[in-house]
Structure 1
Amino acid sequence: MAADGWNARRVGLTISALSLGTTLNALNSSMIAVALLSLQHDFGLSIAAVTWVITVFYIASTVAQPLMGRMADAFGARRVFVAGMVLVVVAGAIAPLGGFELVLVARGIMAIGTSVAFPAAVALVGPLAHASGASPPRLLARIQIANTTAAALGPVIGGLLIALAGWPAIFLVNIPLALAALVGVLTLAPPDEPRGAVSPAAVMRVLDPAGVVAFTVAVVSLLVAALGAAGEALWLLLAIGAVALALFVWRERRARFPFIDVRMLAANRALTWTYLGFTVFAALYYVAFFGLPQFLESYGGYSTAIVGLLMLPLSGMTIALAPFVARTIDRRGLAPVLIGTGILLLVATVALGIGVITIAPVWILVMTAVMGIPYCMGSLAMTEAVRRAAPPDAVGVASGLLQSTRYLGAIAATVVLGRMLGGEVDAAAWGGVVLAAVGIGIAHLAVALVGASAFRRPA
């Protein structure tokens, strides 16, 4: 039963505002791809230098997702969501005002601000579902549809904005979008339960500065090494990352208010297996999402615009199937959907082998549509798995960590593709990518089978 003041229209408007906020991270991740040449030209940069706008966003988002989730758990998801949207407005406004260094600063602030949205939105789904009587998986399905659509349309929107007003437009467009999300959540979302005042001392206690610093050093060192940007310092960065990671675990096991409760992760089997599964899942997905366009452009001779159209079934399947997947989770539970994701994802990786035989458009459309089915299932099921498995007071940080594992999977995919497609891109090279993907798919299925057992309904 819905509580007083809640109806389908208010629920829909609230989810729309939350979805708008969560799309900003995906939108800014993908729009920047079409702005690199404009930034390179306007600031007289090399290709290596201009790509830092991507690297800064990746690194900042990886660290900020769980950090902002921790803030949402401590000070209220609604309050922190609104603060994140304020940061997005600031970032959008300052980026066009100075040199490239200010653009990088703005991208970092943008990453932090947009990283608030997803963990805060997932944390708000529970209270929103309780107040309205709605199904949590179905609310998450709407958010998932918005995120997938934003990621798919980001390059198209970015290209149009740059054509009309230059690269500053991809920053300025965030201002009205963030303000709309801010006003919608502030006026519609369920109020946060009473929390303590947001004082500097409270923030420092919640943030666990020592844990955050160790986590950041570990993530930055290992990501820069994985991205191939370390040069001759590769082994030094790997050593620094390993030591920082060990110190992070040591610190969090002893902290009274840990940034990430590693003891809880060790004890919470369902949550740990979900993170592992999503990391492997994301790696496999991004091997296809990043690799297929490169293969089609280099080997198939397709234009960027045509490749974009050929990739659309991937997001289209999410839009079409998300409501059905949500109903299945409601009726049958998470375990069947997690196992089905593993099986269908392995089938989809085998289907990628069609590219070795033919690159006819109709078969590429089949490949991307087939890949879209398990992507929709896995994204929604594992988000709901984290929401269910996390302690009630840690849903935000748990959801933020899930997003961090997505970035880790994406980076792993770029490493695989760098090795497989680093030379001549032809059918044989694509065959190597497919074999690697099948191996990852088998690993994911094994993890899914073990992890799903933690979500089986009692007889």
Structure 2
Amino acid sequence: MTAAVETRTFDRRLIVPLVLGAVLNPINSSMLAVALVPIGLTFHAVPAQTAWLVSALYLATATGQPVVGRLVDRYGARRLYLAGTALVGVAGVIGALAPSLSFLIVSRVLLGLGTCAGYPAAMYLIRRSGVEKPGGLLTALNVSAQTIVVIGPTLGGLLIGAAGWRALFAVNIPLAVACLVLGAILLPRHDGDTEFEHRLDHLGIGLFAGTLTALMLFLMSPAIGHLWLLALTVLLAAGFVGRELRYADPFLDVRVFGGNLPLITTYVRTLLAMTVSYAYLYGFTQWLEAGRGLSASHAGLILLPMSLVAITVSTITGRRAEFRGKLLVGAISQVVACALMLVLNSTSALWIPIVISIIFGLPQGLNSLANQNAVYFQADPDRMGASAGLLRTFAYLGAMVSSAATGAFFKDGADTAGLHDLAIFLIVTAGLLLVVVLADRSLRRIGGAPVTKGSPA
């Protein structure tokens, strides 16, 4: 009865600041794609150095999302949202005035940390509002992020043409101000706890951050000489699990996550799906330019149908509670699209990569939306922020795996042979995703009203 009242009185004005906060990360991820070359020219940096501008954001965001999400669970969305967006503004100033590449990397790290609050805060407030059918709200988050990914490179190019690459950092200043004003006016002031029986699990957070940082540093540059990073990952992970099992109010309750197999499976699906997605976005694009001989603008146009299909599919299916069907179509589409990559060569007709782009639009629109919605229903309500943050962490882990795979298969250049090897790897990965979806019987049972505190799971 209470949930029904809260659903009727949900303040729709919250959608604007929540969506704006949630898209700060994809804005900064997508716009930079067209800025690496001019930044390199400004600071006389080689691609291996400017690549850290991308990796720094991924590393900070993947590590920070669940940490900030847990802080949202504990202290409420308003405080973290305002603090995060303020940090985005500071990062924008540093980037706009940066005298060296090192300062730009610091700016990107701060952007990664600052943008960590938007998505967990949105998921937290939507769940806390008591919305029984959140499909429209969750679709708005997903579609807005996909739209930003589509227009990000174009917007970045326009800003660079008008005011130089520093404009890509400076644009965060007015965005942060807008978030601060809207957040201060609209976000509820008392949405978190005020008294805590136990102190925040600082050691657990530190061990988690260290574990993930060591793992992602290895994935960014996998080599025999870097195996010590994997050993460090295992050591820190063991310490983290031991700490969380003993602490009364752990940062991540491994007992809860260990006993919530459907949620763990959703994270695994996200890792597999995003590995294929990122490898296509960055690996296939490299081949279009180096292997097929297209210009950067033409390669971007070939990817455009994928983005348009993804947005259309998300918009049409977003309100439907069906999960298994969406994920099955998404996984099968990835297998088919990756298999078609095997027929490509340097003289292939352009309609073939366009068809592949269209097919890839289906999983782009279905997988991330279905997994995001699944977390909403599967996660412990008291840990919604941390659970939503972990979803983004596994997505970025997929990005790192795809980066490592692309680097390995394109070590001699983005040629057709490397593309075919990458395609085989992606077919196997998408096939594993399909197996995981088929084996997960819990997908048939989710989609009703979310579990609330005190109700049976």
Go from structure 1 to structure 2 and tell me whether the alpha carbon gap of 1:96 and 1:328 turns closer, same or farther (over 3 Å shift).
closer
Contact 2:7/2:130 (<8 A) preserved: no
Q: Please report how far the alpha carbon of residue 423 of structure 1 lies from its aligned counterpart in structure 2 after TM superposition.
A: 1.8
Matched, 1:453 2:442: yes
Q: Distance in 2 between matches of 1:433 and 1:357?
A: 16
Contact 1:26/1:151 (<8 A) preserved: yes
Q: Please report how far the alpha carbon of residue 79 of structure 1 lies from its aligned counterpart in structure 2 after TM superposition.
A: 2.8
Q: Distance in 1 between matches of 2:412 and 2:445?
A: 46
Which of 170, 173, 182 aligns to 1:172? It is 170
Structure 2 segments unaligned to the other structure (5+ residues): 449-457
User: Which letter does structure 2 place at the counterpart of 1:68?
Assistant: V
Matched, 1:243 2:232: no
Contact 2:78/2:191 (<8 A) preserved: no
Q: Once structures 1 and 2 are overlaid, which stretch shifts more, 119-128 or 141-150?
A: 119-128
Q: Distance in 1 between matches of 2:111 and 2:273?
A: 26
Q: Please report how far the alpha carbon of residue 320 of structure 1 lies from its aligned counterpart in structure 2 after TM superposition.
A: 0.9
Q: Please report how far the alpha carbon of residue 401 of structure 1 lies from its aligned counterpart in structure 2 after TM superposition.
A: 0.3
Q: Distance in 1 between matches of 2:294 and 2:260?
A: 47
User: Which letter does structure 1 place at the counterpart of 2:43?
Assistant: F
Match of 1:205 in 2: 199
SS at match of 1:302: coil
Match of 2:191 in 1: 193
Q: Distance in 1 between matches of 2:7 and 2:320?
A: 28
Match of 1:47 in 2: 47
Q: Distance in 1 between matches of 2:146 and 2:198?
A: 35
User: Which letter does structure 2 place at the counterpart of 1:217?
Assistant: G
Match of 1:406 in 2: 395
Matched, 1:267 2:256: no
SS at match of 1:375: helix
Which of 359, 362, 366 aligns to 1:373? It is 362
Q: Please report how far the alpha carbon of residue 273 of structure 1 lies from its aligned counterpart in structure 2 after TM superposition.
A: 0.5
Go from structure 1 to structure 2 and tell me whether the alpha carbon gap of 1:223 and 1:192 turns closer, same or farther (over 3 Å shift).
same
Contact 2:374/2:446 (<8 A) preserved: no
Q: How does 1:7-406 map to 2 (within 5 A)?
A: 11=12, 13-100=13-100, 101-128=102-129, 130=131, 135-190=133-188, 192-196=190-194, 205-206=199-200, 208-228=201-221, 233-329=225-321, 333-356=322-345, 359-406=348-395
Q: Distance in 1 between matches of 2:243 and 2:297?
A: 49
Q: Please report how far the alpha carbon of residue 128 of structure 1 lies from its aligned counterpart in structure 2 after TM superposition.
A: 4.5
Q: Distance in 1 between matches of 2:134 and 2:130?
A: 6
Q: Please report how far the alpha carbon of residue 52 of structure 1 lies from its aligned counterpart in structure 2 after TM superposition.
A: 2.1
Go from structure 1 to structure 2 and tell me whether the alpha carbon gap of 1:40 and 1:358 turns closer, same or farther (over 3 Å shift).
closer
Q: Please report how far the alpha carbon of residue 68 of structure 1 lies from its aligned counterpart in structure 2 after TM superposition.
A: 0.7
Go from structure 1 to structure 2 and tell me whether the alpha carbon gap of 1:143 and 1:358 turns closer, same or farther (over 3 Å shift).
farther
The structure with the largest helix share of the pair is 1
Q: For 1:187-221, what per-residue CA distance to the aligned partner results, in whole angstroms no more than 9, with x for missing partners?
A: 33455435217xxxx79933x22112222222222
SS at match of 1:57: helix
SS at match of 1:386: helix
User: Which letter does structure 2 place at the counterpart of 1:103?
Assistant: L
Go from structure 1 to structure 2 and tell me whether the alpha carbon gap of 1:125 and 1:238 turns closer, same or farther (over 3 Å shift).
same
Q: Distance in 1 between matches of 2:197 and 2:352?
A: 53
Contact 2:244/2:254 (<8 A) preserved: yes
Q: Please report how far the alpha carbon of residue 110 of structure 1 lies from its aligned counterpart in structure 2 after TM superposition.
A: 0.9
Q: Please report how far the alpha carbon of residue 163 of structure 1 lies from its aligned counterpart in structure 2 after TM superposition.
A: 2.0
Q: Distance in 2 between matches of 1:458 and 1:379?
A: 16
Q: Please report how far the alpha carbon of residue 267 of structure 1 lies from its aligned counterpart in structure 2 after TM superposition.
A: 0.2
Q: Please report how far the alpha carbon of residue 184 of structure 1 lies from its aligned counterpart in structure 2 after TM superposition.
A: 2.7
Contact 2:198/2:248 (<8 A) preserved: no
Q: Please report how far the alpha carbon of residue 3 of structure 1 lies from its aligned counterpart in structure 2 after TM superposition.
A: 5.5
Q: Please report how far the alpha carbon of residue 303 of structure 1 lies from its aligned counterpart in structure 2 after TM superposition.
A: 0.5
Q: Distance in 1 between matches of 2:104 and 2:333?
A: 41
Q: Please report how far the alpha carbon of residue 36 of structure 1 lies from its aligned counterpart in structure 2 after TM superposition.
A: 2.1
Q: Once structures 1 and 2 are overlaid, which stretch shifts more, 423-432 or 24-33?
A: 423-432
SS at match of 1:416: helix
SS at match of 2:318: helix
Q: For 1:11-55, what per-residue CA distance to the aligned partner results, in whole angstroms no more than 9, with x for missing partners?
A: 2x4323212211111111122222223332333334333322222
Go from structure 1 to structure 2 and tell me whether the alpha carbon gap of 1:403 and 1:4 turns closer, same or farther (over 3 Å shift).
closer
SS at match of 1:353: helix
TM-score (norm 1): 0.89
Q: Please report how far the alpha carbon of residue 235 of structure 1 lies from its aligned counterpart in structure 2 after TM superposition.
A: 2.1
Output the aligned Cα RMSD: 2.6
Q: For 1:65-99, what per-residue CA distance to the aligned partner results, in whole angstroms no more than 9, with x for missing partners?
A: 10110011111123321221111111112223343
User: Which letter does structure 2 place at the counterpart of 1:92?
Assistant: G
Q: For 1:290-342, what per-residue CA distance to the aligned partner results, in whole angstroms no more than 9, with x for missing partners?
A: 1111110011111001111111122211221112222322xxx3233333333
Report the identity percentage. Answer: 32
